[in-house]
Amino acid sequence: MCALGGMCLVLPHRVEVGSRTLRWPTLTEVLTSPSREEVMDTDTIEAIETIEGADTLAVQTLSPEEKAAPVAIPHVQVDSTTDSRVFLAAFYASLQEAPNRKIRVVHYGDSQIEEDRMTVQIREHLQDRYGGRGVGLMPLAQTIPSRSVQQRLYMNDRLVSPQQGPRRYIVYGFKRDQRADGMYGPMGQVALMNDSLVKGSEDIMTVCTPLDGRPAYTRWQVFADTSVHYSHSGDTVRLSGNGKVYGLSQESETGIIVDNIAMRGCLGTVFTRINAEQLRRFYAEENVTLIIMQFGGNAIPSNHNPGTIQAIVSGLREQVQYLRTCAPNTSFLFIGPSDILTQTDGEWQTYPMVPYMDKLLRKMAMEEQIAYFSLYRWMGGSGSMLRWQEVGLAGSDGVHFTRAGARKAGNAVAEWILEGIEN
């Protein structure tokens, strides 16, 4: 520490070495900790204090001033007076049928919703008010643990890992794991019963035990080729055959079913690769009245050019339009990225493209007439992820929520949706 302090004292703050720039703080910067007010602007502080005092915050009521970004960003006009929940009318109307038939909600998203995070709160709120049971869709072999269901895979009555199970093709995965025919099904992934590292993949048993402590589901559904046969007893499903399995579902015959479909590392621009007829049939037969899309965050760390962000948002618009052709009578909700931090000169701050992407996504949503929930603005805007870290709601990576943070965000989205019914 003394050696580092000496360097800070006697060496210049910045030195050009060839094509590289070496920087280190002055001794004054090291010994003086910035106050919270110096790190965040006044509006952001007020927004964070509001969040700490209440779990619910309507996205339209929170509009903090953002600090000027260190890059040239085009100005985007957004009509902040419009309550985008007006575009959820079809979903709201369908809830009247919940006592007599199944209403399905499909939540697609990136790693922010892995483990059923955020989705579980939306599911609980809707099922508590409108009925319904079960965690909904899950893959045949679950590679990412879930907070809602524990899954175990057996071949010839021997426990195997998901990696040893049937080969999966994933629309958002590596090129080697993708299909040319687009037959991925509604989850964007498919497992082949006759293609496995372990002999016996034509005879599979999967045990899916609910973990959320809620009332048990009342029925199983298996989405697969007709060549796949299955039977079930309790939490156990036995499958035989050599066809394709697109997913399993624990659910009820009436009420609300909410599916969590997490796509780690995905930009959200992959839906046009999925066979339209498969999606169309699933959305219609399963009475999907709300599709939630939660993407954008994965584009931020590697893109610093406004033009690139514009192109990605245009790609997301194309996905919305494509899914709408597959589900023309369905409401859509787009959830924008949270605040995301980067380190510059040793200081943590919001990526400059986060507020820009948020504005573009909100503009896109209004133009496409779909609902929009801004996680970035709801959190408190620029720099809010720092405060979330301080109170244990965000991880050290400055990107993801902790489980407590995800619970808070999921509750906020669910309550925002339900408030739209009352308003």
What is the reported pLDDT for 303? Answer: 86
What is the reported pLDDT for 175? Answer: 87
Tell me how far apart the terminal alpha carbons of the chain are, to the nearest angstrom. Answer: 59
**Whole-angstrom Cα distance, residue 404 to residue 117?**
10
What is the reported pLDDT for 261? Answer: 97
Q: Which residues of 228-244 are buried (b: 16+ CB within 10 A; e: fewer)?
A: bebebeebebebebebb
**Tokens 């996205």 sit at which residue?**
59
- Domains of the chain as residue ranges with CATH: 35-132+254-423 (3.40.50.1110), 134-253 (no CATH)
In DSSP terms, 248 is beta-bridged to 138, 222
Amino acid at position 208, single letter: C
Tokens of 238: 């036995």
Instruction: Examine the pLDDT at 61 and tell me if it is beyond 50.
Output: no
pLDDT band for 304, please (50, 70, 90 cuts).
confident
Across 72-86, 115-129, 301-315, least confident range: 72-86
Helices (H), 286-402: 306-326, 353-368, 375-379, 384-390
What is the reported pLDDT for 87? Answer: 95
What is the reported pLDDT for 26? Answer: 66
Instruction: Examine the pLDDT at 38 and tell me if it is beyond 50.
Output: no
Instruction: Examine the pLDDT at 15 and tell me if it is beyond 70.
Output: no
Interval 131-182: pLDDT, tens: 999 999 999 988 888 989 999 999 888 899 988 889 999 999 888 889 999 9
Tell me the C-alpha to C-alpha distance, in Å, between residue 69 and each of 65, 329, 382.
12, 40, 10
